[in-house]
Amino acid sequence: MEGYSRVKLLGEGSFGRVFLMREKKPGGRLVCVKQIHRVHQPKKQAFAPSGREKSSGVEVDLMKKLRHPNLIRLLKSFAGPSPLRQQHIVMEYCSGGDLRNYLKAAASGKQPLCLGEDKIWYWFVQLALGLHHMHQQRVLHRDLKTANIFLSNAGYLVLGDLGIARKLASGDAAATVIGTPLYMAPEVLEGKEYSFSSDVWALGCVLYELCTGKPHYSTTAEQDLPW
């Protein structure tokens, strides 16, 4: 990819791949690049945008408007070369990795991790500030979890992955059952309308993990959750 040299693959899923890359210039910084897959549809057109690619346009628009120290920072976005013209989202690289892996690495594996109260509050306030800024801009995250929280190079936490985030109009509510079941509020799982309080529920689930080193419930299956 012009302007960047690939360092390693960070992750891969149905939506595409995420790479660690370095800018091709003197003193070039490390960046995180999300590459969105396109779907091949020969009977209609050579390459049509996938659902995830369409949502990536929303993700980029939201990231441009959301500027806060505790939210992942967008650096640029662009389409790759023909014929694929895959969408690329270039973001700041958080060298500390995600909070889920941090908690796993810090735990002994035999006993639940218990962070000091001061650090728990320090991190929780950062997350609350980032989420508050999103909600002030009427943006619903919808997938707040430890895997989408990152440790910045400076040692503070930032919220990331706005792939399924949604901006709500005044008085509007969401209704799509979407996200990660373990962090979904009861009203989301029940298919009812929901709003910003569902993000606050998820934030409470993250706080529980910070305090105990493990999720608040042991199952990931929706039907086994107690609400």
d(CA 84, CA 75): 22
Whether 118 is catalytic = no
d(CA 24, CA 155): 26
The catalytic residue among 61, 118, 143, 224 is: 143
d(CA 138, CA 133): 9
Cβ atoms of residues 143 and 164 within 8 Å: yes
Which residues are marked as active site? 143
